[in-house]
Structure 1
Amino acid sequence: MPRRTLADWNTIVEQQQQSGLSIVAFCKQQKLNTKSFYRSRRLIRDQDLPNKFLSVALTSVSEHKIVLELDNAKLYISLTCEPVWVAQLLKTYQA
Protein backbone atom coordinates (compact mmCIF):
# COMPACT_ATOMS: atom_id res chain seq x y z
CA MET A 1 0.00 0.00 0.00
CA PRO A 2 1.44 3.44 -0.89
CA ARG A 3 2.29 5.81 1.90
CA ARG A 4 -0.55 8.19 2.79
CA THR A 5 -0.06 11.90 2.19
CA LEU A 6 -1.01 14.60 4.68
CA ALA A 7 -4.02 15.36 2.47
CA ASP A 8 -5.06 11.70 2.76
CA TRP A 9 -4.73 11.88 6.54
CA ASN A 10 -6.69 15.12 6.63
CA THR A 11 -9.57 13.32 4.91
CA ILE A 12 -9.26 10.39 7.33
CA VAL A 13 -9.27 12.73 10.36
CA GLU A 14 -12.40 14.46 9.05
CA GLN A 15 -14.06 11.07 8.49
CA GLN A 16 -13.26 10.06 12.06
CA GLN A 17 -14.73 13.29 13.44
CA GLN A 18 -17.91 12.81 11.42
CA SER A 19 -18.19 9.14 12.35
CA GLY A 20 -18.97 9.78 16.00
CA LEU A 21 -16.58 6.97 16.92
CA SER A 22 -13.66 7.33 19.26
CA ILE A 23 -10.28 7.46 17.55
CA VAL A 24 -9.43 3.97 18.81
CA ALA A 25 -12.73 2.50 17.56
CA PHE A 26 -12.45 4.29 14.20
CA CYS A 27 -8.87 3.14 13.67
CA LYS A 28 -9.80 -0.42 14.55
CA GLN A 29 -12.76 -0.33 12.15
CA GLN A 30 -10.64 1.15 9.33
CA LYS A 31 -7.59 -1.01 10.14
CA LEU A 32 -5.44 2.06 10.81
CA ASN A 33 -2.50 2.32 13.17
CA THR A 34 -3.64 4.49 16.09
CA LYS A 35 -0.18 6.01 16.60
CA SER A 36 -0.04 6.97 12.92
CA PHE A 37 -3.47 8.58 13.23
CA TYR A 38 -2.47 10.69 16.25
CA ARG A 39 0.87 11.65 14.66
CA SER A 40 -0.78 12.68 11.40
CA ARG A 41 -3.51 14.62 13.20
CA ARG A 42 -0.84 16.52 15.15
CA LEU A 43 1.07 17.29 11.94
CA ILE A 44 -2.13 18.61 10.34
CA ARG A 45 -2.84 20.81 13.37
CA ASP A 46 0.74 22.07 13.48
CA GLN A 47 0.55 22.90 9.79
CA ASP A 48 -2.60 24.95 10.41
CA LEU A 49 -1.23 26.89 13.40
CA PRO A 50 -0.07 30.03 11.55
CA ASN A 51 -3.64 30.55 10.34
CA LYS A 52 -5.15 30.11 13.78
CA PHE A 53 -3.35 32.60 15.97
CA LEU A 54 -5.58 34.26 18.50
CA SER A 55 -5.52 38.03 18.42
CA VAL A 56 -4.49 39.24 21.87
CA ALA A 57 -4.09 42.86 22.90
CA LEU A 58 -1.54 43.82 25.54
CA THR A 59 -3.38 46.43 27.58
CA SER A 60 -0.93 47.19 30.35
CA VAL A 61 2.37 46.18 31.83
CA SER A 62 3.44 46.81 35.39
CA GLU A 63 6.43 45.74 37.42
CA HIS A 64 4.72 42.54 38.47
CA LYS A 65 2.29 41.52 35.78
CA ILE A 66 1.08 41.64 32.21
CA VAL A 67 -2.61 42.06 31.56
CA LEU A 68 -4.04 40.38 28.46
CA GLU A 69 -7.62 40.93 27.34
CA LEU A 70 -9.23 37.95 25.64
CA ASP A 71 -12.73 38.73 24.44
CA ASN A 72 -14.44 40.00 27.61
CA ALA A 73 -11.95 38.50 30.05
CA LYS A 74 -8.74 39.89 31.55
CA LEU A 75 -5.80 37.62 32.24
CA TYR A 76 -3.16 38.77 34.72
CA ILE A 77 0.17 37.06 34.09
CA SER A 78 3.27 37.34 36.21
CA LEU A 79 6.36 38.58 34.40
CA THR A 80 8.14 35.49 35.69
CA CYS A 81 5.67 33.16 33.97
CA GLU A 82 7.13 30.78 31.40
CA PRO A 83 6.24 31.80 27.81
CA VAL A 84 5.54 28.15 26.96
CA TRP A 85 2.81 28.09 29.60
CA VAL A 86 1.20 31.22 28.15
CA ALA A 87 1.35 29.74 24.64
CA GLN A 88 -0.28 26.51 25.84
CA LEU A 89 -2.97 28.48 27.67
CA LEU A 90 -3.78 30.51 24.56
CA LYS A 91 -3.79 27.37 22.41
CA THR A 92 -6.22 25.72 24.83
CA TYR A 93 -8.36 28.85 24.95
CA GLN A 94 -8.63 28.91 21.17
CA ALA A 95 -9.74 25.28 20.97
Structure 2
Amino acid sequence: MSRAYRTREQWRELIAEFEQSNLSQKDFCEPRGINSAYFSQRRAELKREAEDNDTSFALAVPQSATAQQTLQLRLGQTELVLPLSVSPRWVAQLVKELSA
Protein backbone atom coordinates (compact mmCIF):
# COMPACT_ATOMS: atom_id res chain seq x y z
CA MET A 1 0.00 0.00 0.00
CA SER A 2 1.49 3.36 -0.98
CA ARG A 3 1.44 6.20 1.48
CA ALA A 4 -0.47 9.34 0.53
CA TYR A 5 1.57 12.53 0.30
CA ARG A 6 -0.04 15.47 2.08
CA THR A 7 1.04 19.10 1.96
CA ARG A 8 1.44 21.15 5.13
CA GLU A 9 -1.90 22.79 4.40
CA GLN A 10 -3.58 19.40 4.04
CA TRP A 11 -2.10 18.32 7.39
CA ARG A 12 -3.31 21.54 9.00
CA GLU A 13 -6.81 20.90 7.63
CA LEU A 14 -6.76 17.30 8.86
CA ILE A 15 -5.60 18.39 12.31
CA ALA A 16 -8.30 21.08 12.49
CA GLU A 17 -10.89 18.51 11.45
CA PHE A 18 -9.60 16.13 14.15
CA GLU A 19 -9.75 18.83 16.84
CA GLN A 20 -13.38 19.58 15.94
CA SER A 21 -14.37 15.91 15.69
CA ASN A 22 -14.44 14.95 19.40
CA LEU A 23 -13.02 11.56 18.32
CA SER A 24 -10.02 9.82 19.80
CA GLN A 25 -6.94 10.07 17.64
CA LYS A 26 -7.18 6.36 16.82
CA ASP A 27 -10.87 6.61 15.83
CA PHE A 28 -10.11 9.64 13.66
CA CYS A 29 -7.05 8.19 11.92
CA GLU A 30 -8.11 4.60 11.31
CA PRO A 31 -10.87 5.17 8.70
CA ARG A 32 -8.60 7.63 6.86
CA GLY A 33 -5.75 5.12 6.64
CA ILE A 34 -3.44 7.32 8.72
CA ASN A 35 -1.02 5.81 11.23
CA SER A 36 -2.01 7.45 14.52
CA ALA A 37 1.62 7.66 15.74
CA TYR A 38 2.60 9.45 12.53
CA PHE A 39 -0.43 11.74 12.85
CA SER A 40 0.67 12.60 16.39
CA GLN A 41 4.19 13.32 15.16
CA ARG A 42 2.99 15.61 12.34
CA ARG A 43 0.59 17.37 14.72
CA ALA A 44 3.41 18.07 17.21
CA GLU A 45 5.75 19.26 14.41
CA LEU A 46 3.21 21.69 13.00
CA LYS A 47 2.34 22.99 16.47
CA ARG A 48 6.03 23.61 17.25
CA GLU A 49 6.51 25.22 13.85
CA ALA A 50 3.55 27.55 14.42
CA GLU A 51 4.83 28.49 17.87
CA ASP A 52 8.38 29.06 16.57
CA ASN A 53 7.18 31.15 13.63
CA ASP A 54 4.33 32.76 15.54
CA THR A 55 2.11 31.96 12.56
CA SER A 56 -1.01 31.19 14.56
CA PHE A 57 -4.22 32.42 13.06
CA ALA A 58 -7.74 33.10 14.21
CA LEU A 59 -10.81 32.02 12.33
CA ALA A 60 -13.23 34.89 11.60
CA VAL A 61 -16.77 33.57 11.18
CA PRO A 62 -19.18 35.79 9.23
CA GLN A 63 -22.76 35.80 10.43
CA SER A 64 -25.83 35.74 8.25
CA ALA A 65 -27.43 39.06 7.30
CA THR A 66 -30.38 38.37 9.60
CA ALA A 67 -28.18 37.65 12.61
CA GLN A 68 -26.99 40.36 14.96
CA GLN A 69 -24.09 42.20 13.36
CA THR A 70 -21.06 40.81 15.21
CA LEU A 71 -17.54 39.66 14.48
CA GLN A 72 -16.50 36.33 15.99
CA LEU A 73 -12.85 35.45 16.35
CA ARG A 74 -11.99 31.87 17.32
CA LEU A 75 -8.64 30.37 18.21
CA GLY A 76 -8.88 26.83 19.49
CA GLN A 77 -11.49 26.77 22.23
CA THR A 78 -11.37 30.55 22.77
CA GLU A 79 -14.00 32.75 21.16
CA LEU A 80 -14.24 36.54 21.14
CA VAL A 81 -17.47 38.17 19.93
CA LEU A 82 -17.32 41.87 19.05
CA PRO A 83 -19.88 44.26 17.57
CA LEU A 84 -19.12 45.30 13.99
CA SER A 85 -18.98 48.87 15.21
CA VAL A 86 -15.65 48.20 16.94
CA SER A 87 -12.71 49.99 15.36
CA PRO A 88 -10.47 47.84 13.15
CA ARG A 89 -7.48 49.57 14.72
CA TRP A 90 -8.69 48.52 18.16
CA VAL A 91 -9.00 44.91 16.98
CA ALA A 92 -5.49 45.07 15.45
CA GLN A 93 -4.08 46.48 18.70
CA LEU A 94 -5.84 43.76 20.71
CA VAL A 95 -4.41 41.02 18.49
CA LYS A 96 -0.95 42.60 18.74
CA GLU A 97 -1.14 42.77 22.54
CA LEU A 98 -2.39 39.19 22.85
CA SER A 99 0.38 37.86 20.62
CA ALA A 100 3.13 39.49 22.70
TM-score by length of 1: 0.48
Larger Cα-atom Rg = 1
